[in-house]
Each structure stands twice: as structure tokens, then as C-alpha cells.
Amino acid sequence: MLGGRRQFLDRICAAADLPGLGPVLYRLNVNTLVVRLMSVGHVYADERFLTRERLREKLDVVRAPGARFGSVRFVTGRLDPVNEREAFLDLARRSAVPILLIHGAETPPKSQAEIEALAVLPGIQRVCLPKGKLAVHEEFPDAVVEAIGRFLTAVPQTGRANQ
């Protein structure tokens, strides 16, 4: 969420959609070096977690036919159902089901700011893992499953989560 819809992001999506040029521009942004840098920069806490095999799997996903359409829209925020933080928070406030928020202590600052804004709302149960960035579910699956298990056994199946 960049505080609203930005016209230049629509242009990026349009450029990515162009036959010929779109695949070239996208490929420049998902080369091995860039994917590795993004992964160790803000996805994984331990750079050793990004093994050659895992990197190859990531590259297979981003290079799959048609992947650029979803990927570009994700990065530009065009998959978000709302454009403003307050609208996002309002959706959480109106939720009729309990919400569990799991994140890592090393989450990048912009994502951390969104997490902090969400975490203070009534009905949100927050679990901050001692390590982890954006892919805590991949890097620390046991801790994530444990947090989900505690949440599911502690929260009534109807109603809001207890603080």
C-alpha cells in the first residue's frame, strides 16, 4: 500500500502486458541475481536457507508461462483489494472471525509498519517469531504450525479472538 493508487504503477503493468517487450522487461527483473538478492534481503532471515535447489524452485515459479502478469500486479499492489491502509484496517475491524497475525522479528520496515497498524486492533492475536522475515512459513514451518495450533485451540470457533 503506497497511500493510494499511483498512475506510474498502472504504466508498469501495461508495459509488462505488452507482447515482446513485457517478457523482456520482466525477465530482466527476475534474473538469478535479483531473485537471490530479494530473497536474502527481505524474504529469508538466514541466507543459507536459500539453497541452490530452493533458488531453482523460485526461478521456476517466476519463469512459468504467464507468471509475469500476477507477479507484476503483486509487486505494484494491483492485487490488493484496497488502496489505503485505513480501508485495509477497516476490513480487519469488520471481520466476524478471529484473526491470527504471524510474523518474524526481522520483517522489513514497510511490512512491519503494516503489521504494527493491524496488531493494535481489537480481536487480532499476534505472534512474533524470534527470527524471520517475509517467509516465516517456509523458513520456520514448525513454529508457524505451533502458533496456528495454539490459536485454534484457544479461540472459540465463533466470535472474535481474545486479546
How far, in Å, CA of 115 to CA of 75, rounded? 18
Write out pLDDT tens, residues 32-57: 999 999 999 999 999 999 999 999 99
Distances (CA, A) of 150 to 142, 146, 155: 12, 6, 8
pLDDT at residue 29 is higher than 90: no
Enter the pTM of the model.
0.81
Angle, in degrees to the nearest 10, between helices 21-29 and 7-17: 110
**Position of cell 497511500?**
3
Give residue limits of the domains in the chain: 7-75, 85-154
Under a CB-based contact definition with an 8 Å cutoff, are residues 71 and 25 in contact? no
